[in-house]
């Protein structure tokens, strides 16, 4: 089906009469060549995705090449600091992140009444 719609490389034979390492390596190289040549088609052929049993395939995003257009990251930032928390002038009066982490770990390890939420 792919061969009719797209000019692909020759698919190696499915049946092998000889299973020596040379024959197997030749078949592996042929399969790799076929797969590489087939993956070069844009958009990716649905028949190939079905053959590889790939579900919910999303093609890679093309980079914006226009002037003044910047590509945004695909993820959202997890934590943002508006100023450096370690250089905060009031660090002596407010608990720092490091102290909060240490306190949480010590509570989890040594507090008898502490129960991990499910």
Both structure tokens of 60: 């890679």
Q: How far apart are CA 73 and CA 86, in angstroms?
A: 27
Sequence ranges of the domains in the chain: 2-51, 83-118
What residues contact residue 88 under an 8 Å CB cut-off, 6+ apart?
Answer: 94, 96
DSSP element (H, E) containing 107: helix 97-110
Per-residue pLDDT reduced to its tens digit, 13-24:
777 787 888 888
- Whether this model's pTM surpasses 0.75: no
How much of the chain exceeds pLDDT 70, in percent? Answer: 57
Give pLDDT tens digits for 27-43.
Answer: 888 888 878 877 777 77
C-beta of residue 69 within 8 angstroms of C-beta of residue 59: no
Q: Are the beta carbons of 101 and 109 closer than 8 angstroms?
A: no
pLDDT at residue 93 greater than cutoff 70 = no
Q: Averaged over 49-77, what is the pLDDT?
A: 64
């Amino acid at each position: 089906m792919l061969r009719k719609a797209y000019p692909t490389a020759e698919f190696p034979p499915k049946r092998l009469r000889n299973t020596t390492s040379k024959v197997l390596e030749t078949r592996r190289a042929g399969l790799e060549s076929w797969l590489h040549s087939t993956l070069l088609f844009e958009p990716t052929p649905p028949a190939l995705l079905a053959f590889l049993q790939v579900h919910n395939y999303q093609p890679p995003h093309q980079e914006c090449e226009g002037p003044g257009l910047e590509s945004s990251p695909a993820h959202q930032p997890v934590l943002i600091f508006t100023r450096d928390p370690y250089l905060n002038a009031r660090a002596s009066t407010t608990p720092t992140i490091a102290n909060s982490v240490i306190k949480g770990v010590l509570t989890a390890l040594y507090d008898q009444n502490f129960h991990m939420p499910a």
